[in-house]
Chain A
Amino acid sequence: MGNQKKIPVSSIVHEQDLRKRNENYKKYVEENTPKNSIVKDTIQAFIVGGIICTIGQFFISYYQYLGAGEEAAKAYNSITLVFLSVLLTGLGIYPKLAKFGGAGTLVPITGFANSVAAPAVEYKKEGQVFGIGCKIFTIAGPVILYGIFSSWLLGLIYYILKLLKVI
């Protein structure tokens, strides 16, 4: 708010050039739509994301205490967090956490689990094949596709660099 010159309404209503009118309207709407506070959102995301990660660290330490190696403990932790996220999604609690925590709930593995579980719940009505089968990855799909693709690409680069004895 404030610094820039405000878009006058007359530059929308009386503008004959439609492209210019649309540009002015877009700016006008941006100026006149209340925004969420980035500071508040960031702090909330930090707190919620931090709590999720602390819980994760607790599980890793606990599994190690029970005798698992570090790698195994991390894998068990992922499994545990995914389970908890799916459970909370099914109970309708995870969306409430996300409403408060934003990216704090989206970035950890729990967010990924939520994005798979939510369509599974929603599309169950459309059947096992065309419902859950086709639509379970509607949100997580891009992450999976481009995650696998970029690993493949990096693997290829690594392989070529090794052939050339660069590394």
Chain B
Amino acid sequence: MAEQNSTKMVGKQSIVFNNPPLILAGSSIAGKKEGEGPLGHLFDTVQEDPMVGKESWEEAESELMKEAATKVLEKAGLKNSDIRYLIGGDLLGQLIATSFGVADLNIPILGIYGACSTMGEAMALASILVDGGFADRVLAITSSHFAGAEKQFRFPLDYGNQRPYSATWTVTGSGAVIIVNPNLHKPNLGEKAIVVKGVTIGRIVDYGLKDSMNMGACMAPAAFETISANLEDLNVDPDYYDRIITGDLGYVGRNILIELLKEKNIDISNNHMDCGIEIFDKDRQDTHAGGSGCGCSAITFTAYVMKQLREGAWKRVLFVPTGALLSQVSFNEGKTVPGIAHAVMVEAV
């Protein structure tokens, strides 16, 4: 048994599961601006009210998360008590959106912080728990809110300032998936089942940039190293995947990532996609370099990527949410903005 477990480790930093866990369902709750974007018609719910009927941005984000959790349970046909563990996180200090958002669900919880890479981290950990036999059903969830993120990381919302071209727009939204032991659930007829084949856990990658208004460039090296590691560990070419999907590099970061990889003779220019680029129409919605935030990759994955996999348009994707590990304190103290990226290998079977 011990020997069998050790075979799950592949290469330097990857895992390939023995019994790939099933992504039973996904939910996406989006804000108004996201609802008006190119993916708007795909979201489960579009919340028109930025305050979601609450008193503060933080409460509003918690409410989005609660809605995402409730929705994913409903779509999976499960009750709270069916979920063994919940793994979640967000961008707010000490994860208050998560704590206050999911407390009422009464599910044993592990709170995590991976900045905007949180969805990747949560899905990786959920899959590890399920394949390891430590849990039968795990709910992975994350959220972000434009106004809450602006307040915490930049300026109050009504303060007048100009955003540079390289700045991104934090997505308001919450996405959740339920990852289960594949022996427990049969997929719906006529639809592909979506499984997590493996994961590559990212390292903190710091190329010394300090510009928090150019997060795409800060995170591109992390995506570069994680994607290279995944391809090396699994010994596959980039076209093994129908799509290699980064979280929120935006236009600036995307170009850098493609060029960095090309230098290592890895060409992803034809099958790369970035959730931050997909979620907004930059010309019509004035979102500069693209969307960002934990919610960006989460709702793009649950609304769009999962649909493409279910319908058979794509067979294999590498989902690589990216995060910038800064805080207002680290920024004020002159620290760099290190990046992180976790890769989740998702397949339709």
Residues of chain A having any CB pair with chain B under 8 Å: 9-10, 12-14, 21-23, 25-26, 28-29, 32-36, 41, 89-90, 92, 94-95, 97-99, 102, 105-106, 111, 114-115, 117-119, 121-123, 125, 138-139
Binds A, one of B35-43, B71-79, B157-165: B157-165
Give the interface SS of chain A, mostly helix, strand, loop or mixed: helix
Among B157, B165, B256, B264, contact of A34 (Cβ-Cβ < 8 Å): B165
Q: Are A9 and B262 in contact (CB under 8 A)?
A: yes
Q: Which B residue sits closest to A138, measured CB to CB?
A: B156
List of B residues within 8 angstroms of A115 by Cβ? 159
Q: With A9-B262, A25-B208 in contact, is A122–B166 under 8 Å at CB?
A: no
List of A residues within 8 angstroms of B260 by Cβ? 9, 12-13
Nearest CB of chain A from residue B128's CB, rounded to whole Å: 31
List of B residues within 8 angstroms of A13 by Cβ? 260, 263-264
Answer yes or no: B207 CB below 8 A from chain A CBs.
yes
Answer yes or no: B255 CB below 8 A from chain A CBs.
yes
Docked CA distance A95–B161 (Å): 7
Docked CA distance A94–B164 (Å): 18
Q: Considering the complex of A and B, which 3 residue pairs feature the smallest CB-CB distances, nearest first?
A: A98-B160, A22-B208, A122-B156
Q: Are A34 and B158 in contact (CB under 8 A)?
A: no
Q: Are A34 and B160 in contact (CB under 8 A)?
A: no
Answer yes or no: B333 CB below 8 A from chain A CBs.
no
Question: Can you show 26 pairs from A to B with CB atoms below 8 A apart?
Answer: A12-B260, A13-B263, A22-B207, A25-B209, A25-B221, A28-B256, A29-B209, A29-B214, A29-B252, A32-B252, A33-B165, A33-B166, A33-B252, A34-B166, A35-B165, A95-B159, A98-B160, A98-B161, A105-B160, A106-B161, A111-B160, A118-B158, A121-B156, A122-B157, A139-B156, A139-B159
